[in-house]
């Protein structure tokens, strides 16, 4: 393990004498997420360790602790639970959060593996996402950083939102708002770019952009730099997803259009309002239920493989758990080969199995049949209405023609 520890001195250490750091899952500009273990409760956890430059910033630490407490009070299946926080202060240890470990991967990794989603899969992602955000909005909290990297998909098909409060803590401490903007340029609302203001309607805008990306596989604005991308939304509307990919229902165009309106007052008031609108779309289109699959080649799965954790995969509707033995702890030349072998040939998820009827390369036979049944039902009712109208008209005409004779 010595080779790996030199690359990351935190691996193998105990935070606050309780949380063992096993290995990194992902790293960003502000923090690194590790797979860890609560040795007191023998519970796997995710450890989000902030950059060491924050450890001596009392303004940041105060806001970091306040946001952690606020998020820990939120309860919803779609929100990643926060268990504890620590670091900073006299210890000079980097601040960290202890969170629920979601065995699976990120929505970004799923998009990279599978590409754009059919409408019923998009609805399956957005519904828990909006409901979880609605709980936070009702409590007066705004996420500020909705993007695929902050949406987790568990191996059981759960959709969960991570990283509540961190952007606010960093921004309010005045440490570096530029890094925040550069990391989320594709999803920022116009008011966030123009004034830095964030409200529940800002989260709604980000969810609208995310919905566009799920349907089309791309974000609506592109540019040479992140700031160029951010400023495009100041004077340009998000185009309808159907303009980028054929087959997107009109109802999703309207949902995305309202969520991403440049005028915040014209958007859904909050995530709860958007969740209600989405439920109406699901009912109108009769979208079938769908379990969102976790990405197979995720960083979280690789971290689990490194440390011999149990990983659960769902195949043909059945959960299969495999225990991957620990590779050599020296992480020498054989490690890459062992890891590649462990992750090779992922099993195909049944909901993405190719069949003749497809949308963007993904099977949606149930969705198409539901839409066809709805169209047939509407046509039948129209024919009945036309027939009844014709009969009434014919009766009225006959009565009118014979009325003089009847009166005589």
In this structure, the answer to whether residues 264 and 377 fall within a common structural domain is no
Query: How many alpha carbons lie under 13 Å from residue 71 in its C-beta half-sphere?
Result: 30
In this structure, the answer to whether residues 256 and 129 fall within a common structural domain is yes
Domain that holds residue 393: 365-407
What is the phi/psi pair of residue 333, to 5°?
Answer: -65, -25
- Does residue 274 lie in a domain region? yes
Secondary-structure percent of the chain, ordered helix, strand, coil, rounded to 5: 50, 15, 35
In this structure, the answer to whether residues 248 and 376 fall within a common structural domain is no
- Does residue 162 lie in a domain region? yes
Active site (annotated) includes residue 2:
no
CA distance 253 to 267: 14
Give the per-residue pLDDT at 395: 65
CA distance 349 to 315: 6
Given the residues 22, 57, 145, 270, the one annotated as active site: 145
Domain boundary among 229, 260, 285: 285
Alpha helices in 1-106 (DSSP H): 2-7, 58-72
Instruction: Give the CATH number, domain containing residue 162.
Output: 1.10.510.10
Give the per-residue pLDDT at 353: 34
Give the per-residue pLDDT at 224: 82
- Does residue 25 lie in a domain region? no
Nearest CA to 177 out of 144, 142, 200 is that of 144
What is the reported pTM?
0.74
- Does residue 296 lie in a domain region? no
DSSP line for 164-209: TTHHHHHHHHTS-HHHHHHHSGGG--HHHHHT----HHHHHHHHHH
In this structure, the answer to whether residues 248 and 388 fall within a common structural domain is no
In this structure, the answer to whether residues 281 and 378 fall within a common structural domain is no
In this structure, the answer to whether residues 138 and 275 fall within a common structural domain is yes
| 376-394 as b/e: b if 16+ CB within 10 A | eeeeeeeeeeeeeeeeeee
Domain count, the chain: 2
> What tens-digit pLDDT sequence spans the chain (408 residues)?
334 444 788 999 999 999 999 999 988 767 899 999 999 999 999 999 988 877 877 888 888 888 889 889 999 999 999 999 998 776 678 899 999 999 999 999 999 999 999 999 999 999 999 999 999 999 999 999 999 999 999 999 999 999 876 666 665 555 544 444 444 789 999 998 888 888 999 999 999 999 999 999 999 998 888 888 888 898 899 999 999 998 999 999 999 999 999 999 999 999 999 999 999 999 999 999 999 999 988 888 887 776 655 444 444 444 444 433 333 233 233 323 433 333 333 333 334 333 334 444 445 454 454 455 556 666 676 677 767 776 766 666 565 565 555 555
């Amino acid at each position: 393990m010595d080779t790996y520890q030199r690359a990351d001195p935190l691996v193998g250490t105990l935070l606050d004498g309780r949380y063992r750091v096993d290995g990194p899952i992902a790293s960003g500009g502000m923090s690194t997420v590790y797979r860890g273990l609560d040795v007191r409760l023998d519970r796997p956890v995710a450890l989000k360790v902030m950059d060491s430059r924050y450890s001596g910033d009392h303004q940041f630490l105060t806001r970091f602790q306040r946001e952690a407490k606020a998020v820990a009070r939120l309860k919803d299946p779609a929100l990643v639970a926060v268990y504890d926080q620590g670091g900073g202060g006299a210890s000079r240890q980097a601040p960290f959060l202890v969170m629920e470990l979601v065995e699976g991967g990120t929505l970004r990794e799923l998009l990279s593996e599978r590409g754009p989603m059919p409408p019923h899969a998009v609805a399956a992602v957005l519904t828990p996402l909006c409901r979880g955000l609605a709980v936070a909005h009702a409590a007066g909290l705004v996420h500020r950083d909705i993007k695929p990297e902050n949406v987790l998909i568990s191996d059981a098909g759960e959709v969960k939102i991570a990283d509540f409060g961190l952007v606010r803590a960093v921004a309010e401490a005045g440490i570096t708002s530029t890094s925040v903007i550069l990391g989320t340029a594709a999803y920022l609302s116009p008011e966030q770019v123009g004034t830095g203001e964030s409200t529940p309607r800002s989260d709604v805008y980000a969810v609208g952009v995310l919905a566009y990306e799920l349907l089309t596989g791309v974000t609506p604005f592109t540019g040479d730099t992140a700031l160029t991308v951010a400023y495009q939304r100041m004077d340009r509307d998000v185009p309808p997803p159907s303009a980028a990919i054929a087959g997107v229902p009109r109802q999703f165009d309207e949902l995305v259009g309202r969520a991403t309106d440049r005028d915040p007052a014209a958007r859904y008031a909050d995530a709860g309002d958007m969740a209600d609108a989405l439920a109406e779309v699901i009912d109108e289109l009769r979208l079938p239920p769908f379990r969102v699959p976790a990405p197979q080649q995720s960083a979280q799965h690789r971290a689990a493989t490194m440390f011999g954790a149990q990983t659960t995969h769902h195949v043909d509707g059945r959960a299969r758990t495999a225990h991957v033995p620990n590779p050599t702890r020296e992480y020498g030349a054989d490690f890459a080969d062992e890891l590649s072998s462990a992750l090779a040939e992922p099993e195909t998820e049944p909901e993405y199995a190719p069949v003749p009827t497809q949308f963007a390369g993904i099977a949606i036979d149930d969705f198409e049949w539901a839409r066809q049944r709805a169209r047939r039902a509407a046509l039948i009712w129209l024919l009945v209405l036309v027939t009844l109208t014709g009969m009434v008209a014919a009766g009225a005409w006959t009565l009118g023609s014979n009325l003089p004779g009847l009166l005589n």
